[in-house]
Amino acid sequence: MAYRRLGESGLKVSALGLGTNAFGKRADERTSIDIIHAALDAGISFIDTANIYAGTESERIIGEALKGRRHEAVLTTKAGLPRGSGVYERGSSRRHLMGELEGSLRRLGTDYVDLYQIHTFDPETPLEETLRTLDDMVRSGKVRYIGASNYHAWELMKAVGISDRLGLARYISMQTSYSLADRTPERELIPMCQDQGLGIIPYFPLAGGILTGKYGTPQEAPAGSRADTDPGFRRFLGEATVTLARQVAALAEELGTTPAALSLAWLLRRPAVSTVIVGATRVEQLRSNLASLELQPDDAILARLDEISAPFRSGEPFALYRLT
C-alpha cells in the first residue's frame, strides 16, 4: 500500500480509503466488519464515515470492527448535514457539533477521531464560530485534524483565511465529488487547495458505480446496484455518463484490466489528491479495487481518459450535498 501526506499536514493516509456509506444499509453488519478487516489487512488505513450514514449504524459497526485494531486506522467522521427535521439537528453551530462529536465517539468506541470533517457549509452559522469550536476539539485531544466537505472554493478559502488570521486549527483537507464523470473541482477548488496546501479526498470516484460499466443504458438497474436499491440515485444516470462508462470500459479492455481500476488509477494521479474513498458491499469488490494501485497506464491512455472526460469539467457537479 502506498501512503501519502494529507495535504501539507504530517498525517499520512493510505492512497485508497474505505467509504462506509453502505454499512448497515446495503451491506449487513457481518459483511461490513469483514470488509473493514480485509481493508486493514491490505494496508488501507483511511476509514471514512459520517454521523448520518445508515442512520448512525455505519459508525456503530465500525466501532465493533475496530475493537483491538483502532491503532491501525486513520478514522474520520463528519457532521453538519441533517440528522432529522428538528432545528437543532443540522448545521455547524457550536451546540450541534459538540453534541454530534460526543455521539460519534461513543458509537465508534474511541476517545478521538483522526480527522473531523464539516459535512457541508452552513450559511446560518458564522465560520468563526465553527472554526473556534473545531479548534477547541483539537485542543481537547478528541480531534487530531479537521477537514471540510462540499464547500465551494470561496467558502473554503474564507475559512482558511479566518484560521490563519486568528491562529486557529486549519482545515487540512477537502472532500468532494471527483471522478472522470465529474471534473468540476478542477475549475477552482483544486487550484485553491494546491495553493493553500489542502489535500483532496474524492468521493464518488466511480460515479456511484456508473464507471464500473454495470449500467448498459440509463434505464437499466442491475439487481443489487445502487440505482436498484436507492431509486433516488437514478437522477445520476444519463446518456452522457453511461456513454463515458462504455468508453472507459473499452480502454480498460485494451489494458486487460477493469474499468473501475482504470478510473481509480487516473484519479490517483490527479494533482492534490491524497486518498480516494472507495466503497464496497462485498470483500471481493474491495480486493478488485486494490488492482488500481498496481496499474501503470501510460501517457497515451491517460491522455485519452482526459480527452473523453473533458466535457465533465463543465456544467454542474455530479454530486453536491448542501443545507437548504
CB 65 within 8 A of CB 107: no
| Amino acid identity, position 253 | E
Question: Which residues, other chains included, contact 27 with Cβ-Cβ below 8 Å and sequence gap of 6+?
Answer: 35, 280, 281, 282
Structure letter (DSSP) for residue 145: E
CB atoms within 10 A of CB 316: 8
For helices 127-140 and 153-166, the axis angle rounded to 10 degrees is 60
Cell of 70: 483502532
Residues in the chain: 324
> Closest Cα to residue 134, out of 109, 117, 152?
117
| Amino acid identity, position 40 | L
53 catalytic residue (yes or no): yes
Cell of 200: 483532496
For helices 259-268 and 299-309, the axis angle rounded to 10 degrees is 100
Catalytic residue among 3, 53, 112, 151: 53
In whole angstroms, give the CA distance from residue 134 to residue 127.
11
CB 268 within 8 A of CB 180: no
Q: How far is CA 95 from the centre of its chain?
A: 25
By annotation, the residues acting in catalysis are 53
